[in-house]
A = this chain, B = another copy of it.
Amino acid sequence: MAKPRSLVEQIHEQLRADIISGRIPASEKLVELELAERMGTSQGTIREALQRLEWDGLVERQARRATYVTRVAIDEMYEYFAVRSLIESFTIRRTVQTITDAQCQQLEALIDRIAEAGQQGDIEALVQHDMRFHQLICEWANSPVLLRVWVPLFLQVQRFIIQTYPKLFSPLSEMAETHRPVMRAIHARDAEAAAAAIQEHVMLVWQQIDHHQTR
């Protein structure tokens, strides 16, 4: 959507998409010079992209050895969901204070696209728009550190959902609808209600997956 300006950003985004979708599988070994040649850039550029992926929590760089795609245990996932939901409930409190009607419309439009993707069973698109939805709320709170802290949590969750949801045969359209209560609270400019709603919304997805998982 927004065009990446720098080479590093482009490569970072591409590798990130590849890892999240599973095209580059967990535990895969990534060699800087090898990637550099394959992608037609220098080692330093790849190196920088890999460092960003490390911050994203998607790879683990072992000093003077190599870089490996991370593998996350399922029971760690609960924490990611929970901490993420808390951070979002914080940020949404602030965002609600200052949100404009135009911004509200932007969020509404995203929910529509999420619903649309859900209808078509396109999980990657759905999660993409879902991320945008939550990210905007975090961004508008204007708290850079919380945003930076939120990103890796969300990316883990995103990867987890994309790679496990298809196995569950659960209706994606349900997932889209759970955004509505959040939106209603935002519209009402009710900070506490919004905080509660988004917390519930995030954990609902976990419960859906966990419910299927443990059966």
State how many angstroms separate the Cβ of A46 from the closest Cβ of chain B: 13
Mask for A85-102, Cβ within 8 A of B = 1, else 0? Answer: 011001000000000000
Given contacts A51-B48, A51-B51, A63-B6, contact A83 B144 (CB under 8 A): no
A51 to B49, CA, bound (A): 11
B contact residues around A143 at 8 Å (CB): 76, 79
Q: Are B44 and A5 in contact (CB under 8 A)?
A: no
The interface residues of chain A, by DSSP majority, are classed as: helix
A148 to B60, CA, bound (A): 12
A80 within 8 A of B: yes
Q: Are B152 and A148 in contact (CB under 8 A)?
A: yes
Q: Are A55 and B148 in contact (CB under 8 A)?
A: yes
State how many angstroms separate the Cβ of A164 from the closest Cβ of chain B: 17
Q: Are A145 and B80 in contact (CB under 8 A)?
A: yes
A41 to B60, CA, bound (A): 26
B contact residues around A70 at 8 Å (CB): 144
What is the chain B residue whose CB lies nearest that of A48? B51
State how many angstroms separate the Cβ of A141 from the closest Cβ of chain B: 9
Question: Which among B6, B48, B90, B149 is the interface contact of A149 at CB below 8 angstroms?
Answer: B149
Q: Are B145 and A152 in contact (CB under 8 A)?
A: yes
What is the chain B residue whose CB lies nearest that of A86? B86
Q: Are A79 and B48 in contact (CB under 8 A)?
A: no
A197 within 8 A of B: no
23 contacting pairs across A/B (C-beta < 8 A): A5-B63, A6-B63, A44-B44, A48-B51, A51-B51, A55-B55, A55-B148, A57-B144, A60-B144, A70-B144, A76-B143, A76-B145, A79-B90, A79-B143, A80-B145, A82-B90, A83-B87, A83-B146, A83-B149, A145-B156, A148-B152, A149-B149, A149-B153
